[in-house]
Structure 1
Amino acid sequence: MYKYILFDLDGTLLDTNQLIIDSFKHTYKLHIHREIEEKEIIQYFGEPLITTLRRYSPDKAEELYDTFIKYNESIHDNSVSLCCNIQAALEQLKEMGCIMAVVTSKRSRMAYRGLELFDILKYFSAVISVDDTTNHKPHPEPVLKALKKLGAQADEAIMIGDSVFDIQCAHNAGVKAIKVSWGVALGHQDEETPDYMVNDALEIVDIVRG
């Protein structure tokens, strides 16, 4: 049994796919006057926002960042939902005595906002956001910081995420990883093989239980 469970946020706990896509489309249309296809946008899901924006406008990435954030926050609460069976899975993991954390490339304020919106913050003992680390996914620092906060060893923990960046981050920290199928992250998915694949959040409980 794994005692410590680390969850990615967007695309894993919360369905923020359309929120993120719409925010990128709005930003790119306004600043670089281009219509970017959804498939191209999805390719970079899971990496820090500023990293993605620099791919399209290295010189004006900060300006794009401000536009993205403002628009994203304005539509956030009406564009986000809880992923299927996540609430039930979290409740079962809690009853099993698991200690859980969120490890996300999202800013702290918006990570907490999403967790509080669906009343699932109560399940987590730590939230590691992009604001909390110098290096970001796929670098191991976010997972290592979560382990330190929880007082966990790598072999006692498992990471759950929807993108290759989540899987790489976990493996780079010496942690096993579960990839969920309900996220839409597509980019470079063949670059890292997860230890487990699940199609339903309740399958996570079975893996954790062992």
Structure 2
Amino acid sequence: MIKAILFDLDGTLLDTNELIYKAFCTTFKEVLGIVLPKGEITNLYGKPLKDSFANYTEDKQIIENLIKTHRNYNDLHHDDMCQPFNGVLELLTKLKEKGIKCGVVTSKRKNVAIHGMTLGRIIEFMDIIISPEDTKKHKPDGEPAMTACEFLGIEPKEAIMVGDSPYDLMCGKNAGCFTCGVEYTTLNINELLKVEPTYMVKNPLDILKLI
């Protein structure tokens, strides 16, 4: 029996896809002087920034500069480019009516995640928010999802981890949760399918059919 749904945040509940894309574009151009294909940039979605930038330089100081530039862009433009996907508020309302616990497992800094969730009016539905500050290991390791389940007092097999990137699905799978990929991802959907998620949904409200 499913007792909880764990959600990735960006690209799953909140439509910040364009914000993240422009943040990466600006960062790579300003710091490294390079312009990357869109597909290469979207493949970085869902990963901790440190891991994403480590693919382009081994210099720790440059990586820190990349992270700082990315975060500065995000902080500056976040509020104008962040809103829930269609159907998200209705989904969360119905899940709570059914007594299903809800949580967010994100690679985003907690203060920024909370701000975006407050802006999008979804924070009131959440029973737990797990961000990188809360665990030693991060996606795709299972620790973040396992930590959320422990807090909620449930077994991982009683939860579904929902996300728009392979890292989200691998996190859920490594924790022992069921997994659900979203077809409205901006990533190559074949990358999600390679992880062999338990479910795939076309829109947020389809998640109701899984419980």
The SS at the match of 1:26 is helix
Corresponding position of 1:202: 205
Q: Which residue of 2 is the match for residue 38 of structure 1? A: 38
CA contact (8 A) 1:101 1:127 kept: yes
Q: Would you say the 8 A contact 2:83–2:119 is kept in 1?
A: no
TM-score normalised by length of structure 1 = 0.96
Matched with 2:116 is: 114
Task: Give the distance between the partners of 1:164 and 1:183, measured in 2 at CA.
Answer: 11
TM alignment of 1:6-155, pairs within 5 A: 6-59=6-59, 60-155=62-157
- Which has the higher mean CA deviation after the structures are superposed, 183-192 or 80-89? 183-192
- SS where residue 160 of structure 1 aligns? strand
Residues 180 and 197 in structure 1, CA contact (< 8 A), matched pair in contact too:
yes
CA-to-aligned-CA distance 1:96-116 (integer Å, 9 cap, x gap)? 001111001111111101100
Matched, 1:176 2:211: no
Shift of 1:58: 2.3
For the 8 Å contact 1:46–1:185, the answer to whether it is kept is no
Distance 1:61 1:50 in 2: 7
Q: Deviations for 1:179-207, whole angstroms, at most 9, x for unmatched residues? A: 11112123843431110110021110111
Letter in 2 for 1:195: T
Q: Does the 8 A contact of 1:102 with 1:124 survive in 2?
A: yes
The AA in structure 1 aligned to 2:89 is Q
Amino acid at match of 2:129: V
Instruction: Give the counterpart letter for 1:189 in structure 2.
Output: L
Stretches (4+) displaced over 4 A: none
User: For the aligned residues, what is the CA RMSD?
Assistant: 1.2
Give the CA deviation at 1:150: 0.6
- Of 156-165 and 180-189, deviating more is 180-189
Within 2, Cα distance between the matches of 1:154 and 1:145?
A: 10
Deviation of 1:134 (Å): 1.1
Aligned residues: 208
**Bigger RCO (CA 8 Å, 6+ sep):** 1
Instruction: Give 1:44 shift.
Output: 1.6
CA distance in 1 between counterparts of 2:37 and 2:130 reads: 30
Match of 1:189 in 2: 192
Distance 1:45 1:183 in 2: 10
Q: Identical aligned pairs, as a percentage?
A: 38
Amino acid corresponding to residue 118 of structure 1 in structure 2: G
- Whole-Å Cα distance in 2 between the matches of residues 131 and 185 of structure 1? 26
Q: Secondary structure, in 3 states, of the residue corresponding to 1:56?
A: coil
Query: In 2, Cα distance between the equivalents of 1:51 and 1:58?
Result: 11
Verify: 1:159 aligned to 2:161, yes or no.
yes
